[in-house]
Amino acid sequence: MDTSTIVNQYDFKFEQKLIYLQEKEFEKMIESSESLRDLRKNIERWGNGEFKSLKDFLEFVGNDVKNPFYRETRMGKIKNLPSYRGESGLPTIPVIVNETLYELHGINHGHFLPLFGKRLKRSLKKELKQIAESFHHPKEGEDYFYEEGLSGVIRFPRDHELNDHYLGKPHPRIFRENLKKTLKNPKKILLLPLTAPLNITLFCLTFGLYSIASFIEMRNLKKNISRGFIDKEEMELLATKSLEWQNKLASYYFGGEMSQPLELEVNYLKELSLKKKEDLGNFVLNSLNIATPQERSLWTANKLREEAESRGLKKLHYICGAAHVSEIKFFLQNPDYSFSKLRERHGVKLEERITS
């Protein structure tokens, strides 16, 4: 294992024990820990050392080390993964809460832009839409919703979309607000003739370079597939072509997750640290002020429960990205979960955001 993935601030003995732990005992320790803080204490006690910071701890537990599927997956291993295929044909994780059956369908929805490679095949989009429409029987107590944004990918009906990006709140009019600020500043108005062409050029250049990189990536993935090498990236590409591979990819995702809430807590705290990084991708996300995936999952679970109870639904389907499924299942079963308490336990301060 590449020891560069382990933060180098620990003393040598503790670092060596952590490497051994990743390879031998980590999964058992996860299963015996009831919370993220509990897991950290157990690791430090086991290794007779301590992490220098929360960041060091998150980097250790967040390196996809729990499940060997994440390290090296070949065709033979993929065939032996547990199946989550439901009666509808979609990957499905069911959960019953207050006599309502929630069926959570985690899919790989690909990219909606034509130049960015991993786009759903037209025939698969049609199949997914037909399956979703088969869930719509409100008079019989059955219906469905889907994650925000999927209408632009699969053309689902808009009235079944849950606006989870801003936790049900109206989308902020970012462009309008920035334009108002610009018009109030005479210096910025004078600079517009100079800055506008430059910004347009930079956007086109970035878009073009990303498209070229995507084309090269797709070519390499197709070569790997033709040689029989199938790992995470290759599965994501194959999942855009068929429902069979959608199910195999879902098994890969679900099989490699830590138990909840450990998985979502690690990812949530890492999301908060990523928001502080000043690169282009995070600058865009921060300016959009979208909620973290875990906050969106909590809001979605509460919204699904609200819809089921108010409409007397016996069965409610939710179609979303695979990464949300186990989180939503946990939140359906634990509606009083609090992110503020998690941040308080780990001493993390939350910067003010529209979604907070």
Mean pLDDT, 10 residues at a time, over the chain (356 residues)? Answer: 44 69 73 85 84 84 56 55 90 96 92 63 92 96 94 88 83 56 63 64 67 67 71 81 90 83 89 60 54 92 96 97 94 93 83 42
Question: Cα–Cα distance between 26 and 156 in angstroms, integer?
Answer: 41
**C-alpha triplet 174, 180, 181: angle, nearest 5°:** 90
How far is Cα of residue 191 from the mean position of the Cα atoms in its chain?
39
Question: Cα–Cα distance between 15 and 8 in angstroms, integer?
Answer: 8
Q: Which residues contact 194 (CB under 8 A, 6 or more apart)?
A: none
* 347 and 273 Cβ atoms separated by less than 8 Å: no
pLDDT at 167: 80
* 144 and 132 Cβ atoms separated by less than 8 Å: yes
* Contacts by 46-49, CB closer than 8 A, 24 or more apart: 46/17, 46/21, 47/14, 47/17, 47/18, 47/21, 48/13, 48/14, 48/17, 49/10, 49/11, 49/13, 49/14, 49/17
pLDDT at 145: 97
Question: Cα–Cα distance between 225 and 90 in angstroms, integer?
Answer: 23
Q: Where are the alpha helices (DSSP H) in 89-185?
A: 122-133, 151-154, 174-183
Half-sphere exposure for 46 (CA within 13 Å, toward CB): 22
pLDDT at 89: 94
pLDDT at 8: 44
Q: Which residues contact 188 (CB under 8 A, 6 or more apart)?
A: 181, 182
Question: Cα–Cα distance between 316 and 160 in angstroms, integer?
Answer: 12
Q: Which amino acid is at 205?
A: L
Torsion-angle region of residue 289: left (phi > 0), alpha (psi -120 to 50) or beta? left
pLDDT at 279: 45
3-state secondary structure of 97: strand
**C-alpha triplet 146, 356, 281: angle, nearest 5°:** 70
pLDDT at 29: 81
Question: Cα–Cα distance between 133 and 154 in angstroms, integer?
Answer: 12
**C-alpha triplet 356, 270, 82: angle, nearest 5°:** 110
Question: Cα–Cα distance between 264 and 330 in angstroms, integer?
Answer: 9
pLDDT at 212: 66
| Residue ranges per structural domain of the chain | 3-66, 84-168+232-345
* 350 and 272 Cβ atoms separated by less than 8 Å: yes
Q: Which amino acid is at 284?
A: V
Length of the chain: 356
